[in-house]
Each structure stands twice: as structure tokens, then as C-alpha cells.
Amino acid sequence: MAKIEKGHPLPSHTKLKYDECHAKILLENFFPEVYNDLQISDRPDLRDVASGVGVEVTSAIPQGEQEALAIACTIPYLGKEERERKITHLKAKGYDYGKYVLSHPPRGYAWTGSDYPDIEITFCKDFLSAVKAKIKKLNSGKYAPLSRYDLLVLSEIDIEDWMPEKLLEKLISYKMEALNYSYIYLLALNGLFRFDIISREWCVRGTQADMFGLSRLARQMVEDGETDDKTQ
């Protein structure tokens, strides 16, 4: 059993994975017409047994950024000397740490002419790469047979107004395998985006304030999982 200290970051290994709990709560709250009883599972990560729908959960946050976020979460609980050392380390990597905030290195892209650039050369490239990797795994033959598969991708990017349409076009172009995801969700800094690959449309729901409240529920779900004897 992992030891969870109130008010401290979650340990790296727990019975229930935080990202999967977070995904369950997000989907059931923002898309209740689609999901109402998602259960933690495996291949795919979430499953609605009654409807035969599965949801895979993954991250498009680069490894270096994940490590920086993990370090930042521990800083408030360190001694002065160690805290300063960690802040200096983050700064050397391009991150500015402040109380309750971590400023990332600048993200940008460039293009010439009046048209927008190829979406794959923007900071959305990590999201698109994560989708392609998960489509490949879905067709590996290692997933439970279900009536529909959906995908939720976690990120730390801010989607600009012109991007959703371009992302939808690119995601539809990936539909070349025997098995594909019907709904692809992107959790961005400015909302939860849903790309409907079948109907060829997109929408966005939620705000940062909404997300904060639900993240607390996800943490509680992880904590409860550590004391539940039925949790595997």
C-alpha cells in the first residue's frame, strides 16, 4: 500500500493511476450523455461494460516536461537548501518556478504566407504523435473486443482558435487501420476538446476552474483506492 500524505504530491506508484481516474471523472462530467459508468480496466484503461465502450488514456506531455512538473510539485515540501537547488535545476532547463506556478519554456512555430502552417509542425505535434502511437497499439491484437474505442490524451498545450479544424482534418486522415478510435479527446489548458471522427465535427467543454475541482475528485479516488481491499 502506497503511503499518501494529505496535501503532498501522490506517490509514483498507487493501486489506481491518477490519470485514469482523472479521465473517468472528466468524461462522466463533461460528456454525461456518452459516459455514465466507466470502470478502471486495462487495454483499454476505462470500460463501460453495459455499452461495450472502452477508453484508452495517454499523455502527450514530453518526458522532460513531465519530470519538471514532478519536481515542481515537491518543492514546497523541501528544506531551504534543497528547494533552492531544485529551482536552480529547473531554471537551467528553461522553467521558471513560482509559488503554485511553473512557467514553461516558450512554445512557438513559424510559417510564411497567409495560410496557417501544417498543424504537425506546431506544438500540437506531440498530441498527434500520441494518437498515432495509440492507433498502432489498438491494432496489436492485445485489446479486449468492444463495440467502440475512444481515446483521451492529456496535454499542457493551449489550443488556438484556428487549430481544432486542422486537428480534426489530420485525425480523420489517420483512419487507415482496421480498428480506430471514434471519439478522440484532448485535454488542453483551455478546455476538453472532443474530435468526432465518424461525424467529422468537434466541440470543446470545460474551463480551467472546472478542471481544478475535478482534479481534486480524481486525487480522492486514488486515495480511496489505497484503502479499498477490492482494488487490484
The cell numbers describing 167, all together, are 486537428
Q: pLDDT tens across 94-114, in order?
A: 888 876 677 776 676 766 666
Average pLDDT value for residue range 209-221: 86
The DSSP line for 158-221 is: ---TTHHHHHHHHHHHT--SSS--SEEEEEETTEEEEEETTTTEEEEE--HHHHHHHHHHHHHH
Q: Residue 202 pLDDT > 80, yes or no? A: yes
CA atoms of 22 and 220, how far apart (whole Å): 10
Convert the pLDDT of each residue in 140-159 to its tens digit: 999 999 999 999 999 989 99
Say how far apart CA 126 and CA 121 lie, in whole Å: 10
Greater pLDDT, 45 or 89: 45
Q: Is the pLDDT of residue 31 over 70?
A: yes
What pTM does this model have?
Answer: 0.85
Q: What is the pLDDT of residue 72?
A: 79
Band of pLDDT at residue 65, cut at 50, 70 and 90: confident
